[in-house]
Structure 1
Amino acid sequence: MNAHDLKQIDDLIEKRVKNLATKDDLKRELRGYPTKKDLQEELKRFVSRDDLKNFATKEDLSRFATKNDLKDFAKKGDLKNFATKDDLKLLGKDLESKMDDVASFIISSIDKHKADKRDLDSLEKRVEKAEEALHVS
């Protein structure tokens, strides 16, 4: 390596160093960012300790079931004995049909009862007439 090569290397290093940010450049750049104190003040605007009093504590949460508590609760096989959504739909349709049958039975029974009552009334009138005829003779 000769003096000329060393000069070229020195020039390259000098160019690269000029392109690097200085301490003042970094300070100017960082002025736009919030400080730790700024962030703490901003956080206080959003949530205070008083706001957090209404949230659940560890003690409150300890009363709830955990994943481990529930792991043996019900297995997929246990659920096969319960009705599915489709079963319930079919049951609903079946119940509607049965309700219609019951309603028509009630209506026909009422009509029959009215007819029986009319027959009974006419029978009572005939008996009264027969009794009157017996008393008269």
Structure 2
Amino acid sequence: MIALGCDHGGFAMMQDVIKYLDEQGLPYKNFGTFTADSCDYPVIAEAVSRAVTGGECDKGVLICGTGIGMSIAANKFSGIRAALCGDSYSAEMTRRHNDANILVLGARVIGLGLALKILEIFLATPFEGGRHARRIALVSDLEKCK
């Protein structure tokens, strides 16, 4: 199950992401926003992050204008590794090496075709584990810093 969330800046792109997921037969839960009206991205990032950390969803996708705000907000949650990706290689490597569990896209920064390719790669790429698992554990230890 994929947790979806966007703010008003990502609303139009999210509609296309939903269409793509429907076409692929991939299950998702939409945490909003459900209109193009202005809203607060941290509220959406929280809902998606809690769904992922709570086990309700395996991965998440967040979309805002640049992707920066959603990335910052989502990465405040212990266990979240949200990656803002603007190219295919980053999408692949963040899954292989960082075990990213939330993909963040900037709707005002990249085009729809590239966004859907990034999404496809993110969802299809496995985590390699091995030496990368040790590094993910080190990152998790940083979450304990105050």
With the shorter chain as reference, the TM-score category is: under 0.3
Of structures 1 and 2, the one with the larger relative CO (CA 8 A, separation 6+) is 2
TM-score, length of structure 1 as denominator length:
0.13
TM-score, length of structure 2 as denominator length:
0.13
Q: Which has the larger radius of gyration?
A: 1
Between Structure 1 and Structure 2, the one with more strand by share is 2
Between Structure 1 and Structure 2, the one with more helix by share is 1
